[in-house]
Amino acid sequence: MRTLGHVVADRAAHDARSELIKLMREQTSNGAVISGPIGSAKTALLADVLGGEFEGAVHLLCSPILGENVFGALSPLLIDFEAQLSEISVLRYLTHRFAPTSGGSKPLVVVEEAHFLDVASAFVLSQLALAGSIRLVLLAVGQGHTEPVVASTELGARLGRISLAALSLHEVADFARQLLGGPPTSATTHSIAAACAGNPLLVSAFLRSACEQEILIESKGWYILTQSHVDNDLHLSTAVSEIQKRLNVADAKALEVLALGGAEEVSVLEEVSGADIGRLLGTGLVKYVAESRVEIAAPLYAQILRDLVPPGRSAQLWGHVSKLTPAYGSLPHSLLWACESGDSVSTERFIDAISKANDGLDFLNAWRLCQLTGALETNSDIAMHGAKAMLGLKRFQSVAGIVDRALHQCDDLRLLREFKSLRATALWHGGDTDDEIGALLQDWKVRTELIQSKDASADIAEVALNRRAIEVLELWVDLAARQDPRAILAKAQRFAASSEYGSLEYLICRDISSGIMMTLGRFVEAADTALESLKSIPSGSVNEYIAGYQVISTALRALFAVGDYAKIRALAVSHEPESPELHLIWSGTLHFWAAFSAVQEGRWKLAGKLLEEARAELAVHDPDRFFVLAEALHDYELSESSRDPACDDRGFRDNPTNRGYMGLENSDATLLAAAYRSLSRGLENTGYLQNLIEKAHVENRFHTEQQLLILLWKSASGPSKNNEGTARLQELCAPGVGRRNGALAAAVSTTASTDTTTLVNAAEELFSSGETGLGTELLAVSLQNLEGTKSERLRGVVLRKLDSWIKELGGKAWGNLAEVLNERVLTNREKEIISLVGQGLSNKEIARELVVSQRTVEGHLYRVFAKLGISGREELDGQL
């Protein structure tokens, strides 16, 4: 790991540096106030700008204690002062002390922690600066001007102002890169920024701790978090302790209260601690979460500080807070605080707090509260919440244990339904076998019937709800067993229609419907269904945590099948989850689909960048087992960009561990990986592709069959030259069914055409419909019909269009397109003639200038016009 220095990555930070340089170099400048949150690298910025001058400056360090004393800040300069202390006498003394030598510059005085500056020192320093005896720099935490002493000094000394902010995402990424020696993935950067609220001191400690705890690892040149939670250790506790020491007693106490109890009313916090909330907000350590409530801005800070508060002090603070608010303790953290302080807590308050913790995805504290109740095995509601917490923590075996114990003597149909649903969800997420899910459903049926038979007054509605839940889950079993897809689809659609919009049952049924539509080749309908499901999931909700990944995964797969590549790239950005843990898990898949889409579009620069990050992420978090396909696409991207086939022989073997979400093996990824790997090695073996296509067809993997057929169609010598499988491809790309429009189906029908206009029109339709990669390749194929001098001008027009399309896609030609575009390269003589035309010379004058015949000049211009696809001299402007 590297030693951290001052980070200037974001434009705002760069502008602050430029401003400070300009301010400090002005001859008339008296100095500056540099303000910002705690840890915002104010000292580092000043040292970076001033260099050696900073080392030679007079440094004064203020503190809460010194701030309470007259001339406390100036005390290091007054050791030899013998006169009676007064503002006038101290001012005279320091004016003499700071008198510049002949030809020397004004001394620089740097006051750190200037928000603790005492009034007397502030007056003297401002007068010295105003008189030109010194240049004064105040380094203040917060907004600076909110502190009266700093504000009056700034105004009195006529100082400039530089305001810094917490680190932006770009700066966090740059900070991490400097420390680690390599870039963090975007999801890792988001997780770090969210945990630390952009505080550089916390970011630095987080990175060091995560590396030592081996949860921040290197993967293919990138650094990625394996989990978002980091345990308390020396690095983190030291960083938090140092920040606490820089606060006055009241502010430090307020932060302790917030760390122990979570969000708090401003009025209560001010009364308990005596803190100035406005000043605390300026430090960047707290933020508003409601109109009158604040909390610690960095979750990591709250986590560490909670552990640093001694038990005795914690109990003392709880006593103060609980007296002010007798009903205090409905939030998870405050209830934990109450329990730890020895308060008696009712079961109702426990259940309320645990429910809030689960709903807020705070599963760890929900589980801690469940354990504190001591009623996990005796209270069904607490057991239910405990199982939900374990599900959120992905401890699926623990879910099974809690459910089995709770159902041992259960005769309540509502509890039976909820517990069995939780157990089924745990099996679903854990990738357990169909036999286990089948056994669970069978036991569920038996128990339902048994309870109903024992109690004639059993709630009929609850019996119906149990049976319905069983039927919904049986859909998954039938789907995995590849039962009649149309029958499953009809049942799933019927259940979805009668489910509450956005409920888990609704999402399951809609996702099953989308999946079956994909197997039936109804890609457009599948995409629309999946997108509607996605809209129904609130960001940050429990349903997003449980089913969000599956729903967005299906949506991305369906959108890819319909060729809506731009929508995929937009979704990959707009649907990044708020939860850092989910973001880490989803990110590789989101980047993968965005990269795969960019490959199809011919946006090879973008594809290369996205694939690099996706491969690194999928090597760590790969719910759908896309890593093997991402590696194959990476090799294919290299071969298409450099024309050098990949030499890494990884091979593709059936691997029983290649099981994706819900334990399903990702055969689609394996088939596509095999195809792209063969193409990246330059193996134009249509027989091999045909075998893969046949396998996809037999297994009803029609979206994969479609993609393989597209590869076959274009693989030999360009799209129009390979007519094998075109009828099937047209069927899978039928407008309104397989694609939203008929551009691809129409282009496939041009297979046997040798008419340039037909091919160009088909290419333009593809390009405008979003199939930009195929459109560009088909346009290049049309050039094969334009050989000879008679077609020279038209060939130039097509080449011009081809060049403009490639530039629109990022400017990186692929395959043989770079070779094709070489035809547009001008010779030195042609460039010279264009330059002379640009100067207004006629052909005759150019001939005289170059000492050649006029006919030679005209011949050169004719070839230039043909190469560039233009019709005359007036279009030459800007062509060099």
Tens of pLDDT along 437-463? 888 999 999 988 888 887 766 678 888
Q: Looking at residue 331, what is its pLDDT? A: 81
Q: What is residue 116's predicted lDDT score, i.e. its pLDDT?
A: 87
Over residues 635-649, mean pLDDT: 67
Residue 502: which region, alpha, beta or left (left: phi > 0; alpha: psi -120 to 50)? Answer: left
Mean pLDDT across 690-713: 92
pLDDT of residue 12 exceeding 60, the answer is no
- Strands 222-225, 216-219: pairing is antiparallel
In this prediction, residue 644 carries a pLDDT of: 52
pLDDT, tens digit (0-9, with 9 covering 90-100), for 366-409: 999 999 999 998 999 999 999 999 999 989 889 999 999 998 87
Report pLDDT for 611. Answer: 96
b/e map of 673-693 (b: 16 or more CB within 10 Å)? bbbbbbbbbeeeeeeebeebb
Specify the DSSP element, H or E, that contains 223: strand 222-225
- The CA distance from 846 to 528, in Å, is 63
Please report the pLDDT score of residue 653 as a whole number: 34
Identify whether the C-beta of residue 204 lies closer than 8 Å to the C-beta of residue 4: yes
pLDDT, residue 66, reads: 83
Q: Quote the pTM value.
A: 0.86
- The residue behind tokens 């649903």 is 421
pLDDT-derived band of residue 238, with 50, 70 and 90 as boundaries? Answer: very high
Q: How far apart are the first and last CA of the chain?
A: 48
Instruction: Return mean pLDDT, the chain.
Output: 86
pLDDT over threshold 50, residue 414: yes
Whether residue 226 is predicted with pLDDT greater than 90 in this model: the reply is yes
Q: 3-state DSSP call for residue 217?
A: strand
In this predicted structure, the answer to whether residue 658 has a pLDDT above a threshold of 60 is no
Q: Is the pLDDT of residue 716 over 70?
A: no
pLDDT at 846 over 60: yes
Using CA atoms, how far apart are residues 215 and 224, in angstroms rounded to an integer? Answer: 8
State percent of the chain over pLDDT 70: 90
Mean pLDDT of 221-249: 94
| Three-class SS state of 295 | strand
Which ranges of 739-822 would DSSP assign to H, the alpha helix? 743-748, 756-768, 772-782, 792-808, 817-821
Q: What pLDDT sits at residue 783?
A: 84
Sequence letter at residue 263: A
Confidence of residue 434 (pLDDT cuts 50, 70, 90): low
* Consecutive H or E run containing 843: helix 843-850
Residue 664: per-residue pLDDT: 47
C-alpha triplet 303, 304, 310: angle, nearest 5°: 110
CB 796 within 8 A of CB 868: yes
Q: Which residue has the higher pLDDT, 837 or 664?
A: 837
| Predicted local confidence at residue 10, as pLDDT | 44
- Using one digit for the tens of pLDDT, what is the confidence trace for 475-522? 888 877 777 889 999 999 999 999 999 999 999 999 999 999 998 999
Residue 716: partners with Cβ closer than 8 Å, 6 or more residues away: 684, 686, 722
d(CA 6, CA 26) in angstroms, rounded, equals 24
- Statement: residue 36 has pLDDT above 60: yes
Which band of pLDDT confidence, cut at 50, 70 and 90, is reported for residue 655? Answer: very low
| pLDDT of 350 above 60 | yes
Q: 363 Cβ partners below 8 Å, 6+ apart?
A: 357, 388, 389, 390, 391, 392, 393
Q: Which of 69-83, 138-152, 285-299, 308-322 has the lowest mean pLDDT?
A: 138-152
Q: What is the mean pLDDT of residues 782-787?
A: 78
The CA distances from residue 95 to 90, 106, 876, in Å, are: 8, 11, 71
- Evaluate if residue 855 carries a pLDDT over 90: no
Average confidence (pLDDT) over 543-557 = 94
Q: Which two tokens stand for residue 598?
A: 């960019």
What does the block give as tokens for 739?
A: 């694609």
**Spatial distance between the Cα atoms of 316 and 340, rounded to a whole number of angstroms:** 11
The CA angle 581-584-586, to the nearest 5 degrees, is 105
Picking from 252-266, 734-748, 749-763, which range would have the lowest pLDDT averaged per residue? 749-763
Q: What pLDDT does residue 11 have? A: 45
Position 659 confidence tier, pLDDT thresholds 50, 70, 90: very low
CB 260 within 8 A of CB 319: no
pLDDT in tens, 809-824: 998 988 888 888 777 7
| Residue percentage of the chain with pLDDT more than 90 | 51
Residue 570, pLDDT > 90, answer yes
* Measured distance CA(614)–CA(569) in Å, rounded: 13
More confident residue, 465 or 718: 465
Handedness of CA 729, 732, 735, 738 (dihedral sign): negative
Mean pLDDT of 21-25: 86
Q: Please give the structure tokens belonging to residue 184.
A: 């963090």
Q: Cβ(364)–Cβ(394) under 8 Å?
A: no
Tally of residues, the chain: 880
Over the stretch 160-206, which tens digit does the pLDDT of each residue have?
888 888 888 998 999 999 999 999 999 999 999 999 999 989 999 99
Q: What is the pLDDT of residue 86?
A: 92
How far apart are alpha carbons 546 and 470 in whole angstroms? 18
